[in-house]
Amino acid sequence: EIVLTQSPGTLSLSPGERATLSCRASQSISTSYLAWYQQKRGQAPRLLIHGASTRATGIPDRFSGSGSGTDFTLTISRLEPEDFAVYYCQQYHYSPPTFGPGTKVDIK
Amino acid sequence: EVQLVESGGGLVQPGGSLRLSCAASGFTFSSYWMSWVRQSPGKGLEWVANIKSDGSEEQYVDSVKGRFTISRDNAKNSLFVQMNSLRAEDTAVYYCARIPIPSGSGHFDNWGQGTLVTVSS
């Protein structure tokens, strides 16, 4: 089973700042098979990015994904108030599909 | 608009059974693989099971094999999971989710709001 590690666990930033979230896989995965989700309190996860860098429908362009092999990054260029949430990465290259433990982005 | 609405959660004793349902609308249900994903405070998000668009193939995480059965009724646009021999560690919010990839190996592009299952005596 592929283990995903996310860092940092919590990121404290102010609106307007740039957020950089990391996801590391226990072995190399294809860039086609890495996704990012946003989850707000009491809500279901929402797909942000798939294929490591392709934004899902309706996702603002301040969200971008990059990376390859074992290291992937989600960047939020300028944080809006609605972006403070928990973010998860997920791999689907190997079965079973697995998720990282999440990075919480909270207001500084 | 894609909608997925789960139901059937509740409190059940260890060793008991529960059947969750997911009503789908807004898309051609019979064309998509579907999944159950759960979330508990101790283990985060965990994929539970997949079922092929025509119901001919099922996949499970090891921890539920032999206890859970995923199924679907394409005529009624509905997804199910029968959960038997429930354990405390099955306590979680269970989400129904759609896989947009024809092979079934994919991300989850739409999620329901979830239904809470609590296994406790």
pLDDT tens digits, A9-68: 999 999 999 999 999 999 999 877 999 999 999 999 999 999 999 999 999 999 999 999
User: Which chain B residue shows the shortest CA-CA distance from A52?
Assistant: B107
Residue whose C-alpha is closest to residue B51's, from B70, B65, B69: B70
The per-residue pLDDT for B42 is 66
Cite the beta strand spans of chain A per DSSP E. Answer: 4-7, 10-13, 19-29, 34-39, 46-50, 54-55, 63-76, 86-91, 98-99, 103-107
Work out the minimum CA distance from A9 to partner chain B, whole angstroms: 13
- Contact B45/A33, CB-based, under 8 Å? no
The pLDDT value given to residue A30: 81
- As a whole number, mean pLDDT of residues B26-51 equals 93
What backbone phi and psi angles, to 5 degrees, belong to B76?
-110, 10
A65 in B contact zone (CB under 8 Å): no
Across the interface, whether the CB atoms of B45 and A35 are under 8 A apart is answered no
Q: Phi then psi for A2, rounded to 5 degrees?
A: -80, 125
Interface residue of A88, A99, A103, A104 to substitute, partner B, most B CBs within 10 Å: A99
Within 8 A by CB and 6+ apart from A2, the residues are A25, A26, A27, A29, A91, A93, A94, A98
Chain A residue with minimum CA distance to B93: A44
Q: Using pLDDT thresholds of 50, 70 and 90, give the confidence band for residue B15.
A: very high
Q: Per residue in B52-110, pLDDT tens?
A: 999 999 999 999 999 999 999 999 999 999 999 999 999 999 999 999 987 777 899 99
